Structure 1
Amino acid sequence: MRLLVIVLVAVGMLVGCNNSQSTSPANEEKEKVIEENKEQEATRSDEDEINEIIKQNLIAAENKDLKAYMSTLHTEAPAYASTSDMMEEFFSTYDVKYTWDEIEVVEIKGTEAEVRVVQTTLNIGDVPFDDNRLEAVHTMKVEDGEWKIYATEVIDVVYLNETTETNSEVDTEINAANFFSLYIPLLDEENGNSPGQDIPNDTYEFLLENEELFPVSSSNLSKAIDMVNEDIEYRNLSKTLNRYTTTMYYDSGYVIDIYEEFIPELDSYFTHLYISNDYDEVYEVLYLGSLDDIFYEDYVEFIGVPTIHSGFDNVSGGYTNVIVVIGSHVEKLN
């Protein structure tokens, strides 16, 4: 009986000692270190996965593998669908080589991360393309247990054939020529014309030479106005558009439809307007920027360069012909 009591007391003392040790400052510090090590290991694992996804994204882009490229993007990203269409057109048009210069995981909070990247894109094909070094910040989110690119904010772009840096926060420094060379064929195809028409080569060169006019700032507006050919009317464009694809054109009319979207790749808003003039002739005006004070049924004037004939089927029947115009200036009149 005494032996049993001694054993029970010994066990009680052992348990007591264990409980005492688990709450001692030394053990608390040890457990804290263990938890911190676990968190650091998890962070390192996340950083490795994030780095790998970003590298896979550029490798897929260089290999023109659209499926692999889209697999690196979050399916709920705001620009997911438009990115697929844009990259498909980009892959079919350009041959470029990518290199990642820097990948820095700035912050990880739960299932969201912020990653700074610097990448260089070089043209290795025959179609004109501006070599550049781009700095951006990716927002990454976890989807189905994997890190994906959710959104991208462009911080700075340096065109390697220029001596000065360009800052993407200035709207006029976005490369309108490259954007519209990708967008217009997709637009025309969406309008029901397959394959979609390419932007005319002379229009592309005109946009490059007059990049500061698309869109135009208030300080350059007088230059855009001076370049307008006042002798041209809609009927001239309708008959022989190819004569005027490097000519600044002016007209006015009612906005019969308008929508705006943010293009993360350009860090800019893009506005799409349908404008019907006083003779019910319709333009499809594409403006690289936001037009905060213009809405449906507003009366506006615009300046831009005409590019292609297009059109679309009406819901109520019939067909509407349009002249697609790359907008330089759009202003509300009423």
Structure 2
Amino acid sequence: MIDGKPSGEGKFVTQNSAGDEWYYEGEFTDGTITGQGGYYLPESDYQEVGTYEDGLFVPTKVELFDNMIRWYSSSMFKKTLELNDTTLEFLQAHENIFPATTEETKSEAMNLVDSSIEYKHLSKSIDDYLDKLIYFKNQELIQTEEFTIWGHTVTRMLTINQNYTNHHYIFYDGAIDVFDGDNITFVSLPVGSASYNNVSGGSTNVIVSIASIIIKN
């Protein structure tokens, strides 16, 4: 405490309007939740970990993807995806290409693509490719959703190849003019493999990635 106000590192525990306990643990500045910390809902495993300003979660680009993919995968897939250090370091070093929206950043992204990587490599063992950009063309969008989270508009897309065998689940930081049924080409960073229960009662495997470039064919 400095002049009666929380300053430094600490933990604040309370309840929301529904009576669920939540807590913040991290840095305080001049009595406000400001700095590095985390907001946690123990009952649901929900969390927002990263940068705070005046009580609001204002994630960096890397923190956005880290928290968003953890949160969405926990409800969409059979397992929760956690971005590992290799992925986080790549994102930190190249965050200007997520997304690549200028000719300069698009060129930078394309120079980082490993064109030898095929779906079979990713589905066998994705761990060797978590710091590589992948390139896939002629992929059909079968599910597209645009949503707002922590001050960002994000588009998530489920795609399938022309043989209806290989699926990608892609997160793009921004709004993009694509819709279900469109055919796209994309450059992205693979972050993990996952599966979900489909409407036929079976299981669908997907490669989850963060998009750098999306091109509507």
Say if 1:247 and 1:297 are closer, same or farther in 2 by CA, change over 3 A.
Answer: same
Q: Which residue of 2 aligns with 1:233?
A: 118
Unmatched tracts of structure 1, length 5 or more: 1-57, 76-83, 102-117, 137-151, 158-173
Q: Which residue of 2 aligns with 1:285?
A: 170
Q: Which residue of 2 aligns with 1:271?
A: 155
Residues 90-169 of structure 1: pairs in structure 2 closer than 5 A: 95-100=25-30, 120-122=34-36, 134=53
| Amino acid in structure 1 at the alignment position of 2:28 | Y
For the Cα contact (< 8 Å) 2:27–2:33, is it kept in 1?
Answer: no
Q: Distance in 2 between matches of 1:257 and 1:313?
A: 15
Query: 1:260 aligned to 2:146?
Result: yes
Q: Is the partner of 1:311 in helix, strand or coil?
A: strand
For the Cα contact (< 8 Å) 2:153–2:174, is it kept in 1?
Answer: yes
Q: Distance in 1 between matches of 2:36 and 2:74?
A: 28
Q: CA deviation at 1:215?
A: 1.3
Say if 1:279 and 1:262 are closer, same or farther in 2 by CA, change over 3 A.
Answer: same
Q: Tell me the TM-score normalized by structure 2.
A: 0.77
Q: Distance in 2 between matches of 1:216 and 1:192?
A: 27
Q: Distance in 2 between matches of 1:274 and 1:185?
A: 17
Q: Is the partner of 2:211 in helix, strand or coil?
A: strand
Q: Distance in 1 between matches of 2:174 and 2:133?
A: 18
Say if 1:309 and 1:135 are closer, same or farther in 2 by CA, change over 3 A.
Answer: same
For the Cα contact (< 8 Å) 1:175–1:211, is it kept in 2?
Answer: no
The structure whose residues are more often strand, as a share, is: 2
Q: Distance in 2 between matches of 1:131 and 1:254?
A: 36
Q: Which structure's relative contact order is higher, taking Cα pairs within 8 Å and 6+ residues apart? A: 2
Q: CA deviation at 1:98?
A: 2.5
Unmatched tracts of structure 2, length 5 or more: 1-5, 39-48
For the Cα contact (< 8 Å) 2:197–2:204, is it kept in 1?
Answer: yes
User: Cα deviations across residues 290-325 of structure 1 (Å, max 9, x unaligned)?
Assistant: 11x211100011111001111111112211100001
For the Cα contact (< 8 Å) 2:188–2:211, is it kept in 1?
Answer: yes
Q: CA deviation at 1:135?
A: 7.1
For the Cα contact (< 8 Å) 1:191–1:310, is it kept in 2?
Answer: no
Q: Which residue of 1 aligns with 2:3?
A: none
Q: Which residue of 2 aligns with 1:186?
A: 71
The structure whose residues are more often helix, as a share, is: 1
For the Cα contact (< 8 Å) 1:310–1:322, is it kept in 2?
Answer: yes
Q: Is the partner of 1:232 in helix, strand or coil?
A: coil
Q: Distance in 1 between matches of 2:54 and 2:178?
A: 32
Q: Is the partner of 2:125 in helix, strand or coil?
A: helix
Q: Is the partner of 1:255 in helix, strand or coil?
A: strand
User: Cα deviations across residues 233-270 of structure 1 (Å, max 9, x unaligned)?
Assistant: 0001011200000000111201000001112x2x2201
Query: 1:217 aligned to 2:147?
Result: no
User: Cα deviations across residues 188-235 of structure 1 (Å, max 9, x unaligned)?
Assistant: 2213424x1311210011101111011112131010011100001000
Q: CA deviation at 1:176?
A: 2.5
For the Cα contact (< 8 Å) 1:199–1:307, is it kept in 2?
Answer: yes
Q: CA deviation at 1:175?
A: 2.3
Say if 1:282 and 1:121 are closer, same or farther in 2 by CA, change over 3 A.
Answer: same
Q: 1:325 aligns with which of 209, 213, 216?
A: 209
Q: Percent identity?
A: 25
Q: Is the partner of 1:296 in helix, strand or coil?
A: coil
Report the number of matched residues: 195
| Amino acid in structure 1 at the alignment position of 2:169 | E
Task: Kindly report the root-mean-square deviation, in angstroms, between the aligned alpha carbons of the 2 structures.
Answer: 3.1
